Structure 1
């Protein structure tokens, strides 16, 4: 596979799943000591990666969950943040300035801060109440953060008796790293083909729902916009018919992400509408990915992980075809990350 280090990928994703017991213990300790709410605070793309876990909790638990921008929290505050709050701050670098300020702010309010980082000797790793470091890089961080945040959500549900199957689900998650490599290998021809189809497109509309919506938003903003300078319009499938449908006309690229949770029909509604108005509709459906040994229940939880791992192969081909490395930025050094 083009520009892919299999052993490195396996090491990183296996490391993410291996944190399950420690993450569970950290969450259970906080709940048993009286935690009343949970904040997911991530800056930029990594904040988007927390949203499937947050949505799972919002759908299955009465435990209060908040998803906020760290920068906005620091300047605007939250009446819900205090000594009975669990705060989860992810950062690949461990140095993201907005997140570092949010950590300081949350601790000043008495909150318990858990950080998820890609590097240990960093401010976010050193100053948290609990830190979990799993080395990753841009091309491997999506799956790693999705897995870690999913485990946190499952731990909350388990401790509260709202989803008691924690051990069974995690045992299936442990199968994922190797299965994701197989998925990449099987998807490689389609990734190469799709990269060729879209390399000259001026812009794309992305849509998804449920757990796939964050991946649609993330891939549009953090990969195509940031790393390839391609214009995109990410829109939730439930909002598509309240504005964005008016942009659909012949030649407009529309990319749909279909998962396997209860929101699948929302994407299918867009899928049924769009082909009559544009000839460029692409659907990535996780139901078509082989995952031997993974139950339908767990498949519904990992749809964004499957999409992330497949789309990484598209990115690998796209950067070569467009002669635009994924690491190339215009303004990165001018912004305080």
Structure 2
């Protein structure tokens, strides 16, 4: 079913939806964040929450019932915690949408609706999960409250994949420079703001810690001056993700401070790839995460090459019981 059809179908069954819960683990949880951020910024009545799956399972919100939409997400559809969350939400009467890459995977078993996304074809395909969940959020808002910039969001969806492919094709030299400069660092700090906040988080915990075994810390750059900036010094490694949109001032303030003390700083800036020329200013905030994530994938690949440490290499994950 198309995204709009799914939400229309839910409204036919339940005209009054009060809450939307996004549930996942790791990178999949982070890829739910732009949709959560979008709804929080624009919904006047809907209650919106983002949960790591086992938090949802062990401390299930009492608001999960027939007036709820629960969107669960897992790339391969086998993450046990997310599978359990899907079943639990359905048992409680929620309207459950599972988002996954693999047909008939365990995540889909108890879901009322399933959204499938690509992954292998190209860099844009790797961003389909995040983009389609944002599409679901757009449809939820428009269906249950109305959304004045709905057409501009749809125009953004029609352009973002091509922009991602165009951007990643041009960024290899910068990605190689990053890899060469950071390959021997023992820790890399990553930060951003707005809808891109958990892109920084997922790059930190997944691409660096999980896939490269590099220590990393991540924080919202609005919080940077309320603790983390005390570790800034000459040559301390930072990766700053800069947004095109309303929160850019926070990114810029953090960059000014990093440069002031000669921190080792790499910037990935959505403006450098022309996001604002493709997407309307009223909605540009919400498309930063897809573009920046696509570009960062190239950075991670180049880091893996220069360190001779494939992104698929693991010590514990899938190797033992935990």
Q: TM class, shorter-chain normalised?
A: over 0.9
RMSD over aligned Cα atoms: 2.0
Distance 1:103 1:287 in 2: 38
Name the structure 1 match of 2:286.
Answer: 301
Distance 2:82 2:132 in 1: 18
String of CA shifts for 1:75-107, please: whole Å, max 9, x gaps. 112111111110000110111100111111111
SS for the counterpart of 1:56 is: helix
Distance 2:41 2:283 in 1: 16
Asked if 2 retains the 8 angstrom alpha-carbon contact of 1:125 and 1:132, the reply is: no
Name the structure 1 match of 2:301.
Answer: 316
SS for the counterpart of 1:193 is: helix
Please report how far the alpha carbon of residue 168 of structure 1 lies from its aligned counterpart in structure 2 after TM superposition.
4.1
Moved more, 278-287 or 194-203: 278-287
Name the structure 2 match of 1:247.
Answer: 231
Q: How does 1:66-85 map to 2 (within 5 A)?
A: 66-85=49-68
Q: 1:131 to 1:202 in 2, by over 3 A?
A: same
Please report how far the alpha carbon of residue 192 of structure 1 lies from its aligned counterpart in structure 2 after TM superposition.
1.5
SS for the counterpart of 1:195 is: helix
Name the structure 1 match of 2:39.
Answer: 57
Q: 1:160 to 1:302 in 2, by over 3 A?
A: same
> 1:134 and 2:134 equivalent?
no
SS for the counterpart of 1:49 is: helix
Asked if 1 retains the 8 angstrom alpha-carbon contact of 2:233 and 2:261, the reply is: yes
Q: TM-score scaled by structure 2?
A: 0.92
Name the structure 1 match of 2:172.
Answer: 188
Q: 1:151 to 1:336 in 2, by over 3 A?
A: farther
String of CA shifts for 1:233-289, please: whole Å, max 9, x gaps. 101112111211111112211111111221111121111112222331222111111
Q: How does 1:66-215 map to 2 (within 5 A)?
A: 66-137=49-120, 142-215=126-199
Q: How does 1:27-66 map to 2 (within 5 A)?
A: 27-32=7-12, 33=14, 34-62=16-44, 63-66=46-49
> 1:279 and 2:263 equivalent?
yes
Structure 2, gaps ≥5 residues long: none
Distance 1:140 1:230 in 2: 26
Asked if 2 retains the 8 angstrom alpha-carbon contact of 1:257 and 1:267, the reply is: yes
Q: 1:303 to 1:336 in 2, by over 3 A?
A: farther
> 1:24 and 2:40 equivalent?
no
Distance 1:214 1:335 in 2: 28
Between the two proteins, the alignment pairs up a number of residues equal to 317
Asked if 2 retains the 8 angstrom alpha-carbon contact of 1:125 and 1:133, the reply is: no
Please report how far the alpha carbon of residue 298 of structure 1 lies from its aligned counterpart in structure 2 after TM superposition.
4.1
Q: TM-score scaled by structure 1?
A: 0.88
Distance 2:259 2:307 in 1: 27
Please report how far the alpha carbon of residue 169 of structure 1 lies from its aligned counterpart in structure 2 after TM superposition.
2.5
SS for the counterpart of 2:127 is: helix
Distance 1:241 1:335 in 2: 40
* Structure 1 segments of 4+ aligned residues over 4 angstroms from their partners: 137-142, 334-337
Distance 1:125 1:107 in 2: 11
String of CA shifts for 1:36-90, please: whole Å, max 9, x gaps. 2110001122111111110111111121111112111111121111111100001
Aligned pair partner of 1:226 in 194, 200, 210: 210
